[in-house]
Structure 1
């Protein structure tokens, strides 16, 4: 079994074991004998898969070292953490080769994906924060102290999806098809000498295919030439604003032209109504997940929904609000403008309950950075244009693992 398959199988077993514990915790009881037996079985299978993963990882590292791959001598994730985005841009500006962690990451990513970068590959995780960038000119007579460490960031939407635990599948090359169980064998009670009911198992599939996102930003020569770690962070932030927010939005609601299909646009998600906001209707919403054997991991909603939930009592005249201490019931709640309101007259807020580990983010290309110091306009000012692109797709393993109410009055 390949390493990716082992990890997928282990994640599935962990989810099943967690579901058993969650059921008992919800009902405030200990595991019954059948549940304990099932949990012990999953525990043994998880332990076995972890051992398989260690062996597969060891063999993969050995094979890399046998091929003379420098990344094989240390963790690939450790290499990712050492990539300096500004150093990559500066190397392209100066027409020199990459060195150190940046060179190792770029070479390893090209080997894994089988494709040559148009610019230079840098890890997507290296730019997952937000900001914009600029510098100012000092007056001739009065000196100005440039305090990059005190940079004033603009307000941006809080990014949610990857923080909520979506499954990340990296290093992809061709289109991805993941088999999925459809229907099972039919079983029924029959009289003596009567025919048993028949029914064949059926299977479905979840597919991911490359979708491209990117943008171009202009940055000053002075900014790029600065060696301060604070400048490194500013450049990361600017690139992140172009890509991370677009990917996050696609995971939540994507479905437009050339976009991945996100949760809100996925066919088969469950719906509920909070037009009349009450604790009973919230419980009814969560009950829909229990009925299909899915577990609610959290609540995600638009920012205006936050005030509505926090200002509504569970029951009239009794202390206790629907949203208290950052939780709705026992579930952590997250709010962001990334969760778009439903447009109408008037607009209404969206509330999503579900398990975001059922969302898969496939990555074909980490961030591909290409610097152009010769573009008209930027060239005349000594600036450079920086293009950043990523190739990803998203899919939901079980659409029924999400319940959405999009009629909350705000």
Structure 2
């Protein structure tokens, strides 16, 4: 007697598609979460600042006080030529109606996430070419120093450099690979203890290094085979926001195709109120 089994009758098996959509593992957005100053504006923003003050001195009774000369300049954000981040996806109404998942809602969320990731990368390390965002690690006049991932003293030197520029850094910024290299430094070849105590490097879900929070991001990549680590005072970082993440459902434009479009638009800019707010340490290339 032959018994019909499922392995031989796959065409008779009802298929089920789970009503969920698995998202990829990806980099979290970190720049805005670090707490920069955010200004909302739909037009160019000018932030005035004092370029240099005056020098006070001791003056004798009845003597003339010398004149002081204060110089001013400004930081400019959101120039009219700055491009925005934009994305558009078109899909048929049949696909929306027959989809197991709520496809329109899923795509809205997905497109906003993709725009947020592109924005995060640009705010950290954008090249600023062709009227795009120039990230804070590419700004003119930032402080620079040497990095040696095998020697934590280079981090202390970087911290001293920032403090020498009258900066109080609020965050370290580095890739997970750089952070791992720093954590793995041992006391010596015959002593396997870690230089940086593993018990003090993590507080809950937050990593700390030399007393400062560590931002782990892929958006400070190695350059020319040279690792980079940044010290940043986020209180001196300003972000101008024109459009956060505007989502539009275009249900008429492709009506003759019985299709809709989902469009997401975002427009931001960033600048440093003081260039030395960023100290970028770079390792010698291999």
2:263 matched residue in structure 1: 387
Q: Distance in 2 between matches of 1:220 and 1:173?
A: 34
Partners of 1:363 and 1:391 within 8 A in 2: yes
Question: Which of 246, 249, 268 pairs up with 1:368?
Answer: 246
Give the alignment of 1:225-236 within 5 angstroms.
225=97, 231=103, 234-236=106-108
Max radius of gyration: which structure? 2
Output one character per residue of 1:60-101: Cα deviation in whole Å (capped at 9) or x when no partner. Answer: xxxxxxxxxxxxxxxxxxxxxxxxxxxxxxxxxxxxxxxxxx
Question: Which of 296, 312, 319 pairs up with 2:169?
Answer: 296
2:38 matched residue in structure 1: 168
Partners of 1:159 and 1:338 within 8 A in 2: no
Larger proportion of strand: 2
TM-score, normalized by length of structure 1? Answer: 0.56
1:146 paired to 2:12 = no
1:284 paired to 2:165 = no
Aligned length: 264
Per the TM alignment, residue 231 of structure 1 is displaced from its structure 2 partner at its CA by 4.8
TM-score, normalized by length of structure 2? Answer: 0.78
1:221 paired to 2:70 = no
Q: Distance in 2 between matches of 1:207 and 1:404?
A: 22
1:159 matched residue in structure 2: 29
The alignment yields a C-alpha RMSD, in angstroms, of: 3.3
Bigger relative contact order (CA 8 A; separation at least 6): 2
Give the alignment of 1:195-344 within 5 angstroms.
197-210=66-79, 211=82, 212-221=84-93, 224-225=96-97, 231=103, 234-254=106-126, 255-275=128-148, 277-313=150-186, 315-316=187-188, 317=191, 318-321=193-196, 324-325=201-202, 326-342=207-223, 344=224
Larger proportion of helix: 1
Per the TM alignment, residue 253 of structure 1 is displaced from its structure 2 partner at its CA by 1.1
Per the TM alignment, residue 200 of structure 1 is displaced from its structure 2 partner at its CA by 0.8
Q: Distance in 2 between matches of 1:257 and 1:226?
A: 42
Q: Distance in 1 between matches of 2:239 and 2:144?
A: 23
Q: Distance in 2 between matches of 1:207 and 1:226?
A: 49
Partners of 1:186 and 1:198 within 8 A in 2: no
